Homo-oligomer: A and B are copies of this chain.
Amino acid sequence: MSDYSSILLENAVKQFASLPGLGRKTALRLVLHLLRRPRNEVEAFADSLTKLKADVRYCRLCHNISDSDVCPICQSTRRDRQTICVVENIQDVMSVEKTGQYNGLYHVLGGIISPMDGVGPKDIEIDSLVERIEPEHIKEVILALPTTMEGDTTNFYIYRRLMPTQVKVSQIARGMAIGNELEYTDEITLGRSILNRTEYTG
């Protein structure tokens, strides 16, 4: 006999425990919580997952997650349609949106170049980025990728691919995080922030 007196319970726990970062104990706690909720709520929970998987799409232009063929951001007429911010994934779109400091379009790569993980330029949405520049009259591409070796590699590759289009390519600033102390900032970041110092205008 298994640890569980109910196979139905065991199945549900196994499903939750298959999610990243959830162990058996947490999974059991979540399932027992759901079990105490009314039946219609549990059905709504299950429905939201099947519907998501069945009906969700990715924007034809920027590859962000979307309920329609073109996402609300790419459809918007109130955004700067000549600037594209390149990000690794859809969470990053949300992160940039939350800053309230950006009003242009996006391009979601769906990954970054990582030879160690077997991810090459053809595995992510780089071709489709290059193909957007001329038809959409893009003036600037902002690279907002992770500040890691893989991010740097991807930045460089995209830069080289974009050179023939003569679009302006920029990358998000690297330096000390706001609210940090010099003492606790790593040497590479601090060194970079000295090299890349900006004019102080008071």
Please give the count of copies of this chain that the complex contains.
2
Judge if A54 is at the interface, Cβ distance under 8 Å: yes
Q: Mark A1-30, 1 if CB is under 8 A from B, else 0.
A: 101111111011011001111100010111
Q: In the complex, are the beta carbons of B93 and A52 less than 8 A apart?
A: no
- The main secondary structure of chain A at its interface with chain B is helix
Q: In the complex, are the beta carbons of A21 and B15 less than 8 A apart?
A: no
Judge if A90 is at the interface, Cβ distance under 8 Å: yes
Judge if A178 is at the interface, Cβ distance under 8 Å: no
Q: In the complex, are the beta carbons of A56 and B6 less than 8 A apart?
A: yes
Report the separation of the CA atoms of residues A9 and B42 in the bound assembly, to the nearest whole angstrom. 17
Which residues of chain B are within 8 angstroms of A52 by Cβ–Cβ distance? 8-9, 11-12, 31, 34-35, 42
What is the interface of chain A, defined by CB distance below 8 A to chain B? 1, 3-9, 11-12, 14-15, 18-22, 26, 28-35, 39, 42-56, 59, 64-67, 71-73, 89-91, 93-94, 97-98
